[in-house]
């Protein structure tokens, strides 16, 4: 919703929250004033045009401060007469902030407050949902971490018990190594016996020589 107002002989298009500089208004800063000369009010597709002002429309504003505008220079001269006149001017201004635009029973400030309340409720809802999701994510991360730690602990426990068995294994493996030479000697003895028998068989007996008388 916006409106067109007239003040100080000038027209301004304003809406809720607009700050504007108007001609000097004799009101102290911080006070509220009503701008009764409302020429036009538009609300969406509906509009009310005044003849010259809208009867049931009002615009309220708060005076923020009193200021002076930028300096303007007025220079007048008459050629060939040596007449030169230079003047400066700074206009006294009042800064207003629009706080209400009303057309009949409809109020722009009430609609804005309702919209702000709805937006705040929506933000709070989103914040609660985000906090709940963050808590769920944290709980899930802790569960996954616990599951990952449990298999590692179960794998590390058997290794610690099997360590004495691994130490005892070399003693068992060295025992056959000591007995191996005895078996080798035992196996080597028959071979020697077998080789001796053919040698004795192969050696021919020499006939005894007869002694001569």
The one-digit pLDDT tens for each residue of the chain (213 residues) are: 899 999 999 999 999 999 999 999 999 999 999 998 999 999 888 889 988 899 889 999 999 999 999 999 999 999 999 899 999 999 999 999 999 999 988 888 898 899 999 999 999 999 999 999 999 999 999 988 888 887 777 766 655 454 454 444 444 444 444 444 555 454 544 444 444 445 445 555 666 665 554
Same domain, 89 and 120: no
Same domain, 95 and 121: no
Domain that holds residue 62: 2-104
Helices first, then strands: H and E counts in the chain: 1, 11
Same domain, 79 and 137: no
Q: Is residue 206 part of a domain?
A: no
Q: Is residue 201 part of a domain?
A: no
Same domain, 32 and 72: yes
- pLDDT, residue 149, reads 83
**Placement of tokens 């597709």 in the chain:** 45
Q: Is residue 186 part of a domain?
A: no
Same domain, 100 and 147: no
- pLDDT, residue 159, reads 52
Same domain, 114 and 146: yes
Same domain, 37 and 73: yes
Same domain, 27 and 87: yes
| Residue closest to 97 by CA, chosen among 64, 69, 59 | 64
Q: Is residue 194 part of a domain?
A: no
Same domain, 31 and 82: yes
Same domain, 100 and 115: no
Task: Give the total number of structural domains in the chain.
Answer: 2
Distance in angstroms (rounded) separating the CA atoms of residues 91 and 69: 5
Domain boundary among 42, 71, 104: 104
SS3 of residue 9 by DSSP: coil
Sequence-ordered strand ranges (E) for 8-82 = 10-15, 19-23, 32-35, 38-43, 46-49, 57-68, 72-78
Same domain, 6 and 96: yes
């Amino acid at each position: 919703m916006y409106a067109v107002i007239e003040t100080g002989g000038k027209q301004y298009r304003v809406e809720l929250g607009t700050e504007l500089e108007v001609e000097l208004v004799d009101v102290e800063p911080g006070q509220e004033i009503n701008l009764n000369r409302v020429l036009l009010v538009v609300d969406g597709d509906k509009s009310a045009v005044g003849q010259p002002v809208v009867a049931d429309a009002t615009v309220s504003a708060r005076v923020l401060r009193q200021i002076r505008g930028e300096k303007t220079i007025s220079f007048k001269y008459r050629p060939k007469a040596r007449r030169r006149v230079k003047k400066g001017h700074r206009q006294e201004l009042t800064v207003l902030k629009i706080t209400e635009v009303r057309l009949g029973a409809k109020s722009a400030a009430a609609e804005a407050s309702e919209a702000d309340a709805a937006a705040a409720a929506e933000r709070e809802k989103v914040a609660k949902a985000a906090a709940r999701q963050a808590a769920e994510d944290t709980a899930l991360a802790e569960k996954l971490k616990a599951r990952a730690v449990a298999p590692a602990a179960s794998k590390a426990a058997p290794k610690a018990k099997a360590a004495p068995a691994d130490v005892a294994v070399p003693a068992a493996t060295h025992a056959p190594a000591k007995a191996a030479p005895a078996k080798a000697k035992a196996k080597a003895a028959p071979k020697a016996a077998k080789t001796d028998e053919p040698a004795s068989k192969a050696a021919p007996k020499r006939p005894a020589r007869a002694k001569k008388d």
